[in-house]
Amino acid sequence: MGRMDKAVLFWTSAFIDDAYPPSESQPVTTYKPSALFTYIERLQAERPWGTFLDAGTGINSIQWLSGLETERWTAVTGAAGDAERVRSATDATRRPQDQILLGNWAKADLLKGEVFDTVLADYLLGAVEGFAPYFQPYLFARLRPLTGRVLYITAPEPYVPSDKPKTPAGRLVWEIGRFRDACLMLSGGMPYREYPSGWVIDQLKRAGFAPRAMERFEIKHGERFVNSQIDLCAPGLSQLTDHGLANALRARGEALRAEALDIIAGAGALAHGHDYVIAAEPA
């Protein structure tokens, strides 16, 4: 029995700096694993990573996984831009057996029949809405036959569909999230849709997984979070035919940015919300 087989489901808390969303521009040389990945390494302990599936890849997860001793890895994304960024980020480390796949988990033939020792769903769940709306309840059942030994999930607890937070930092994070999602909707995209850890545990059990461990990490949002969320809106706003609306939204984004960066300059971060990591094994 591996160490995790004996683990019980538990909750603890820790701090994580600027965890969400992962930066696309973090240079490889300054890469430092996040607290979430460090926690996963602790859970994995001495067990080999073996064959590894990064089921929702991006710069953060691929940088982490490129430094692990894997037999081979497969990195899946639904976005051509992410596939390209992951390709260039791994130019120096990618081996012939490693592969980057552009695909959609809603398509039944993606990696059909393959099994990986370790599967990572890093901020995948919340992004599914943009690629396969309504597919979230099927995601873990979809990943179940692909999982040989362990599935690790990282995600933020929902923070946009909540009552207005009382703290200035919480209110700003909430407003930035709502602003981002409104821009995405107005420009023809889909918003992020995060799910609570309790929902994930329930879905994992239904999908034939046994959840083994969970930890929550308090998020301290920094400049990277603020800038990336507001900058994410720019391409969509430039496509709006109503220029007055686009300009008003741009101005709102800049006002939020200024207010948030001001608080960060004083307090160091916008402390609000939690990320969680869940480890589950085939039941």
Judged by the rule CB under 6 A, the positions of this chain that interact with ligand SAM are 21-22, 56-61, 76-79, 82, 103-106, 122-124, 127-128, 131-132
Q: List Cα–Cα distances, 266 to 125, 256, 259, 269, 270, in angstroms.
A: 33, 16, 11, 8, 10
8 A C-beta contact, residue 176 and residue 219 = no
Which C-beta is closer to ligand SAM: that of 17 or that of 122?
122
Nearer to ligand SAM, 105 or 225 (CB): 105
CB of 64 to ligand SAM, least distance (A): 8
Output DSSP code: residue 267: H
Matching residue, tokens 């960024």? 85
Query: CB nearest ligand SAM: which residue?
Result: 58
Task: Give the residue with the Cβ less far from ligand SAM, 57 or 203.
Answer: 57
What gap in Å lies between CA 140 and CA 129, rounded to an integer?
15
CB of 85 to ligand SAM, least distance (A): 9
> Angle 168-186/223-231 helices, nearest 10 degrees?
20
Q: Quote the least distance from Cβ 255 to ligand SAM, whole Å.
A: 26
Q: What is the DSSP letter of 164?
A: P
- Nearest approach in angstroms of CB 128 to ligand SAM is 4
The rounded distance, in Å, linking the Cα atoms of 1 and 258 is 53
* Token output for 26: 């973090």
**Nearer CB in complex with ligand SAM: 59/270:** 59
CB of 200 to ligand SAM, least distance (A): 15
Considering the complex, what minimum distance in angstroms separates the CB of residue 61 from ligand SAM? 4
Question: Which residues are CB-contacts of 18 (< 8 A; sequence separation ≥ 6)?
Answer: 219, 220, 221, 222, 223, 224, 225, 269
The residue (of 83 and 240) whose beta carbon lies closer to ligand SAM is 83
- The residue written with tokens 């460090």 in the block is 38
For ligand SAM, which is the closer residue by CB, 78 or 253?
78
Intra-chain end-to-end CA distance of the chain, in Å: 14
3-state secondary structure of 56: coil
